[in-house]
Amino acid sequence: MVFIFLQTNIAIFAQTKNDNIDTLIQSYVSLNKFSGNVLIAKEGKVIFEKSYGFADRDFDIPNSQNTKFRITSLAKQFTAVLILQLANQVNST
């Protein structure tokens, strides 16, 4: 009986976290500040996954897990951060 109670509490706690994440992201979506997909994983397990906004606003096509994004401009930022992190590692050794 105790085990079932603990499992129920864990599930409720996890759902509360997911609701909080969703509420936060929805606040940005409602301001037209975010449109895309969110996936949060911990230790290789997906704990939150949802699509927001539109893939094409002109035709009201919503984003989905299968939406393709152009990431070329975004990739530059990630590359810059990785180069800076590598330079920092080299300088700190």
Residue 5 confidence (pLDDT): 44
Residue 9 confidence (pLDDT): 45
**Domain-by-domain residue ranges, the chain?**
2-67
For residue range 17-26, list pLDDT tens digits in order.
888 999 999 9
Asked if 50 and 38 touch (Cβ cutoff 8 Å), the reply is: yes
pLDDT of 38 higher than 60: yes
Instruction: Determine the Cα–Cα distance for residues 3 and 57; give it in Å rounded to an integer.
Output: 48
- Strands, E, within 1-93: which ranges? 36-42, 45-52, 54-56, 61-62
Q: Report pTM.
A: 0.58
For the chain, give the mean pLDDT: 81
Burial of 42 (0-12, 13-18, 19+ CB in 10 A): exposed
